[in-house]
Amino acid sequence: MPQETPPQPHVLRSIRAAQAGVATNAVLAMAKITAGVLGSTYALIADGVESLADVASSLIVWGGVALGARPADDNHPYGHGRAEALAAAVVSVMMLAAAIFVATEAILEIRTPHRFPARWTLVFLVVVVAVKAMLAHRVSIISAESGSTAVAADASHHLSDAITSAAAFIGISAALLGRHFGGGPRWAAADDWAALGSSLVIARNGITMAFAALHDLMDRSPGEPVLAPLREAALGVPGVCAIEKLAARRVGTGYRVTVHVQAAPELSLADAHAIGGQVKYAMSHVGLRVDSVLVHMEPYVGDARMRE
């Protein structure tokens, strides 16, 4: 029975980041909701609800990364990389849903008279912002290293949580300052206005991540930053006269490349095949995570223009 290939280091780091996000967000969500109820601040309760969404999103990212790293099989000959983009799309939809929920509840709270928030909630929020900012920074570094759209979505969700916590801090501070300077009961809703503002930030991040996931699902070209080094590598192979076509698409954390290579018409099939193999090797070692290269050999026509 063949042994299963162990996950690559970048996959393991991505999975551990998702696991850390699940644990951290679960603790913070319960703490925020409890502190919000005891401290009479809806902004903190809304922040806790957003953290609950973070728990679910990190679980989805965890599953997406683990499934996307599975090797190709008979039923999935091109691998399972699309699972990462699907996970990112689900997370982005959850972010939009959380934004709508927070905005709706904040508007209701603004229209409902309530008590001023407790001062001690400010200290709690400082800790929360620090923890979430560090987690967002760490996960964003891992997403850049791995190239994972799902992990990038998770990092964006962590950042959104840090922003909502910072907005809650500003809103509660405004409410307490308003009471201190005799601003009246209307200042008690300042933290609710902050929650409403933070919902717009959450929605923006969700839309941004949704477009990124859709681009991957629809095989959008990665552009010249990826195509240029691939083209240069292929043209550097002895015997390659021109590149007739070059396309790449992102699948999971890697790229699948298709290239039409033109070589001398008098070459034998064996020689053309050898050049194709060298092109594959060259493209796979340009510093990008290239999962596969499909080479189509064509006769050189003399003045062919290189085009993507």
Residues 239 and 213 in one domain: no
Residues 72 and 158 in one domain: yes
CA 35 from chain centre, in angstroms, equals 30
Residues 257 and 159 in one domain: no
pLDDT digits (tens, 9 = 90+) for 2-26: 445 555 676 777 777 777 778 888 8
The CATH number of whichever domain residue 237 belongs to comes to 3.30.70.1350
Residues 101 and 178 in one domain: yes
Residues 90 and 171 in one domain: yes
**234 in any annotated domain:** yes
Residues 251 and 126 in one domain: no
Q: Residue 93: count other Cβ atoms within 10 Å of its Cβ.
A: 15
Gap between the Cα atoms of 121 and 34, Å rounded: 11
pLDDT digits (tens, 9 = 90+) for 34-52: 887 887 676 677 677 767 7
pLDDT digits (tens, 9 = 90+) for 91-119: 888 878 878 887 887 788 777 766 667 77
Tokens 């590149």 correspond to what residue?
A: 243
Percent of the chain with pLDDT over 90: 19
The count of structural domains within the chain is 2
- Residue 52 has a pLDDT of 75
Check residue 74 and report its DSSP letter. S
Residues 137 and 249 in one domain: no
**55 in any annotated domain:** yes
The CATH number of whichever domain residue 51 belongs to comes to 1.20.1510.10
- Residue 245 has a pLDDT of 92
Residues 115 and 195 in one domain: yes
- The domain in which residue 208 lies consists of 9-217
Last residue of a domain, one of 159, 194, 217: 217
Last residue of a domain, one of 200, 217, 234: 217
Residues 213 and 228 in one domain: no
**2 in any annotated domain:** no
- Residue 305 has a pLDDT of 43
pLDDT digits (tens, 9 = 90+) for 70-98: 777 788 877 787 887 888 888 888 878 87
Of 178-192, 207-221, 270-284, which gets the smallest average pLDDT?
178-192
Q: Which residues pair with 263 in a beta bridge?
A: 299
pLDDT digits (tens, 9 = 90+) for 194-248: 778 878 877 887 888 888 888 888 888 888 989 999 999 999 999 999 998 999 9
- Residue 308 has a pLDDT of 39
- Residue 7 has a pLDDT of 57
**306 in any annotated domain:** no
Last residue of a domain, one of 185, 201, 217: 217
Gap between the Cα atoms of 50 and 53, Å rounded: 5
Question: Residue 33: phi, psi to the nearest 5?
Answer: -65, -45
